[in-house]
Chain A
Amino acid sequence: MSEQVTPIRRIAGTAVPVRGDDIDTDRIVPARFLKEVTFDNMGEYAFYDARRSEDGSLNDHPFNHYTGANVLVVNENFGCGSSREHAPQALMRWGIEAVVGESFAEIFADNCTSLGVPTVTLPADDVEWIQDRVEEDPDVAVEVDVEDEEVRVGDRTFKADVDPQEREMLLQGIWDTTALMRSNMDLVEEVYERLPYTSGYEE
């Protein structure tokens, strides 16, 4: 079974800044939207509550204004909380193709990788500079370079970090780990046979 997908080297476009540390997955997609059995509509639910004011009307949340942006710029520990893949699914289906931030919760970053959405880290000052710049000029060109580990904003270039494994997966276009791991099923069977508990510790 071959499922090679196109490698992801760089993503160019415009950005949307969402400020704040520890933005959790409940805020990215409130739990009540998890009742849908497919991810199809998730894009509509990205930051659903955060985007609305008391009376239900849209407020000044960046997701209401930076429509068309494809790079999300966040601060520290973004995506903490539950393991729901609905969170990156919602962002991706809204239009996000890469996330740039100071740090990411692990499950969230893993979930992004399995969707082919790079999570790229930068020092706090650089992130804030980028957020300021994008707020000043929402049309400023932004490029996330996974290969060279850089983020370019207008005419400035920032050194960024991409997790080495994540980088490999994106560059080789092999984030479909199912296909990758299925080629080792004989070895899996060996481990299954060897582990004492899979047979209930029977001899």
Chain B
Amino acid sequence: MSERTLYDKVWDRHAVKELPNGQTQLFVGLHLIHEVTSPQAFGMIEEKDLDVAYPDRTYATTDHIVPTHDLSRPFGDGQAEQMMQELEQNVKEYDIEFFDPDSGKQGIVHVIGPELGLTQPGMTIACGDSHTSTHGAFGNIGIGIGTSQIRDVLATQCIAMTKKDVRRIEWNGSLDTGVYAKDIVLKIIQELGVEGGIGYVYEYAGDTIEELGMEGRMSICNMSIEGGARAGYVNPDEKTYDWLEGREYAPTGDAWERAVEDWRSITSDPDAVYDDVVRFDADSLEPIVTWGINPGQSIGISETVPDPRDMESGDRATAEQALEHMDLEPGQMMKGVDVDVAFLGSCTNSRVSDLREAVRVIERMDGEVADGVRAFVVPGSQGVKRRAEEEGLDRVFESAGFGWRGAGCSMCLGMNPDQLEGRELCASSSNRNFIGRQGSKDGRTVLMSPAMVAAAAIEGEIVDVREVL
């Protein structure tokens, strides 16, 4: 069992009691809710005639179903409208702060938590969404939970959990131009597998991770879940504190000083004990793209699609199914594969630095979105959108032929009108390439970094972004 890691320290602070079934009752410091997974949970507490125990520790937003182009009410989609109304009613009834589109603070729950300074080091953070691991970039335990657990948090501010093992994933060396945090995490999943993290929490460390900005760290922690790990974190450092300082919900004045002092104390000790350590070398990393139907089925951009016949029996069937779905052949390169749609967004990669990098690619290539390609940018939050517009990024996107949308999850999961059609192939900066994920059951998704998405949009096919930068 791990000792003296950030995970151990944060866990100990929040442990309320050992439950008779052997689980730990863990206090949740920050609870975030959105419209899709919360209505049933409110329904459950209502049924039991319970109240929300600590409404001051829960914040709500709307991201999954909101349209990204026309927010006028009622929404065009009646079901989406109903979902929205349920949330509005619940937050009102239980006195929960709600960042709705009129607040100017709405956005993907994992983007706005950090952006508003709600997400802080040393917390336990829960949300009815698997990508809650994103918040771990700030040195906390972010846990995705199901609806029954949301009910638990509403009613008790706690979840029942079993402590996990801690695997330290160390990256050393420096990233080549055109290689990003996204490639780091795709590489981890490629190596350790989509189930490799089951039973673990991942601690990302090493000089490569320290060099990354907070937004890159978020991209990595975000996809911990794709690697099977329930949570992932980076120890907080000066970059973390600088990023948070001055944000709306961050402490100020003397309280800020006390906070930073506290945050320094919860980082993993130099002699911390880990259950496992894995090391990677950043120098040799190249842009990664997926070729299959889960985020572990990926290759470097200079590599070729593997042959299922070379795989172990367990992986073979999934690989064969993947190639059939994706319409790819073993031995072919992903470079040169035609794309129909380019989607720049999602809680993995929709922050200002992602958009800046995409703009850099567009400017370098000095081109426009290729004929026949549908390309659009969905900023992760209204805040990101404003920042990007202040910097003029929207104008670059729009004049290159990209759509510039409102904030939300959008085509990451296709619950709003942004969806793939038929067998369209999408170059996507999101986190999941599961069959049907982007709204069409025959649609195809290739995961990659935002810079790679921008380059693919302009070429009309998958390219090695290092060649244009």
Contacts of A21 in B (CB 8 A): 314-315, 317-318
- In the assembled complex, the CB of B45 is this many whole angstroms from the nearest CB of chain A, namely 8
Q: Mark B310-326, 1 if CB is under 8 A from A, else 0.
A: 00001101100100000
Contacts of B157 in A (CB 8 A): 188, 192
Bound CA span A30–B434, Å: 10
A residues 52-76 near B (Cβ < 8 Å) are: 75-76
Residue A172, interface by CB 8 Å: yes
Bound CA span A68–B158, Å: 37
Contact of A83 among B29, B37, B256, B262 (CB under 8 A): B37
Q: A26-B432, A201-B255 are in contact. Are A169 and B82 (CB under 8 A)?
A: no
Question: Once the chains bind, are A201 and B160 in contact (CB under 8 Å)?
Answer: no
Name the segment of B10-18, B166-174, B327-335, B348-356 touching the other chain: B10-18
Contacts of B105 in A (CB 8 A): none
Question: Once the chains bind, are A37 and B129 in contact (CB under 8 Å)?
Answer: no
Contact of B415 among A1, A31, A85 (CB under 8 A): A31
Contacts of A168 in B (CB 8 A): 20-22
A residues 148-203 near B (Cβ < 8 Å) are: 163-165, 168-169, 172, 174, 177-178, 180-182, 184-185, 187-188, 191-192, 195-198, 200-203
Residue B99, interface by CB 8 Å: no
Question: Once the chains bind, are A77 and B198 in contact (CB under 8 Å)?
Answer: yes
Residue B413, interface by CB 8 Å: yes
Interface size for A (C-beta < 8 A) is 63
- In the assembled complex, the CB of A197 is this many whole angstroms from the nearest CB of chain B, namely 6
Question: Once the chains bind, are B20 and A30 in contact (CB under 8 Å)?
Answer: no
Residue B206, interface by CB 8 Å: no
- In the assembled complex, the CB of B9 is this many whole angstroms from the nearest CB of chain A, namely 13
- In the assembled complex, the CB of A5 is this many whole angstroms from the nearest CB of chain B, namely 13
Contacts of B48 in A (CB 8 A): 1, 178
- Count of A-B contacts judged by CB separation below 8 Å: 220
Question: Once the chains bind, are B27 and A177 in contact (CB under 8 Å)?
Answer: no
Q: Which residue of A lies closest to B22 (CB)?
A: A165
Question: Once the chains bind, are B130 and A107 in contact (CB under 8 Å)?
Answer: yes
- In the assembled complex, the CB of A44 is this many whole angstroms from the nearest CB of chain B, namely 15
Bound CA span A115–B146, Å: 11
Question: Once the chains bind, are A32 and B414 in contact (CB under 8 Å)?
Answer: yes
Residue B304, interface by CB 8 Å: no
Residue A126, interface by CB 8 Å: no
Bound CA span A30–B50, Å: 31
Q: Which residue of A lies closest to B313 (CB)?
A: A124
Q: A21-B315, A200-B255 are in contact. Are A107 and B144 (CB under 8 A)?
A: yes
Bound CA span A171–B77, Å: 44
- In the assembled complex, the CB of B375 is this many whole angstroms from the nearest CB of chain A, namely 22
Question: Once the chains bind, are A85 and B162 in contact (CB under 8 Å)?
Answer: no
Contacts of B23 in A (CB 8 A): 165, 169, 177
Question: Once the chains bind, are A83 and B130 in contact (CB under 8 Å)?
Answer: yes
A residues 19-41 near B (Cβ < 8 Å) are: 19-22, 24, 26-27, 30-32, 34-39
Residue B305, interface by CB 8 Å: no
Contacts of B318 in A (CB 8 A): 20-22
Question: Once the chains bind, are B437 and A188 in contact (CB under 8 Å)?
Answer: no
Bound CA span A111–B230, Å: 13
Residue A6, interface by CB 8 Å: no
Question: Once the chains bind, are B54 and A181 in contact (CB under 8 Å)?
Answer: no
Contacts of B434 in A (CB 8 A): 24, 26-27, 81
Contacts of B437 in A (CB 8 A): 26, 31
Question: Once the chains bind, are B22 and A191 in contact (CB under 8 Å)?
Answer: no
Question: Once the chains bind, are B251 and A191 in contact (CB under 8 Å)?
Answer: no
- In the assembled complex, the CB of A4 is this many whole angstroms from the nearest CB of chain B, namely 12
Residue B276, interface by CB 8 Å: no
Scoring B83, B156, B198, B199 by chain A CB atoms within 10 A of each residue's CB, the highest score goes to: B156
Residue B357, interface by CB 8 Å: no
- In the assembled complex, the CB of B206 is this many whole angstroms from the nearest CB of chain A, namely 25
Q: Which residue of B lies closest to A181 (CB)?
A: B156
Question: Once the chains bind, are A38 and B40 in contact (CB under 8 Å)?
Answer: yes
Q: A165-B23, A184-B17 are in contact. Are A85 and B148 (CB under 8 A)?
A: yes
B residues 382-407 near A (Cβ < 8 Å) are: none
Question: Once the chains bind, are B40 and A37 in contact (CB under 8 Å)?
Answer: yes
- In the assembled complex, the CB of A126 is this many whole angstroms from the nearest CB of chain B, namely 14
- In the assembled complex, the CB of A184 is this many whole angstroms from the nearest CB of chain B, namely 5
Residue A110, interface by CB 8 Å: yes
Q: A85-B37, A124-B314, A174-B20 are in contact. Are A30 and B195 (CB under 8 A)?
A: no
Name the segment of B120-128, B180-188, B362-370 touching the other chain: B120-128
Question: Once the chains bind, are B294 and A107 in contact (CB under 8 Å)?
Answer: no
Contact of B79 among A36, A107, A115, A169 (CB under 8 A): A36
Bound CA span A4–B50, Å: 17
Question: Once the chains bind, are A110 and B149 in contact (CB under 8 Å)?
Answer: yes
Contacts of B96 in A (CB 8 A): none
Contacts of B130 in A (CB 8 A): 81-83, 107
Question: Once the chains bind, are A37 and B86 in contact (CB under 8 Å)?
Answer: yes
Q: Mark A95-123, 1 if CB is under 8 A from B, else 0.
A: 00000000101110011001100000000
Contacts of B262 in A (CB 8 A): 196-197, 201
Contacts of A19 in B (CB 8 A): 317
Scoring B23, B225, B230, B415 by chain A CB atoms within 10 A of each residue's CB, the highest score goes to: B23
Contacts of A114 in B (CB 8 A): 146, 148-149
Contact of A84 among B79, B146, B432 (CB under 8 A): B146
Contacts of B156 in A (CB 8 A): 178, 181-182, 184-185, 188
11 other A-B residue contacts (CB within 8 Å) besides A177-B23, A178-B156, A202-B255: A26-B435, A31-B413, A49-B435, A49-B436, A85-B40, A107-B144, A165-B23, A165-B162, A178-B155, A181-B156, A188-B157
Q: Which residues of B contact A (CB under 8 A)?
A: 13-14, 16-17, 19-23, 25, 27, 29, 36-37, 39-40, 43, 48, 50, 53-54, 57, 64-65, 77, 79-80, 82-83, 86, 120, 122-123, 128-130, 144-149, 151-152, 155-160, 162, 194-195, 198-199, 225, 228, 230, 251, 254-256, 258-259, 262, 294, 296, 314-315, 317-318, 321, 413-415, 432, 434-437, 439, 441
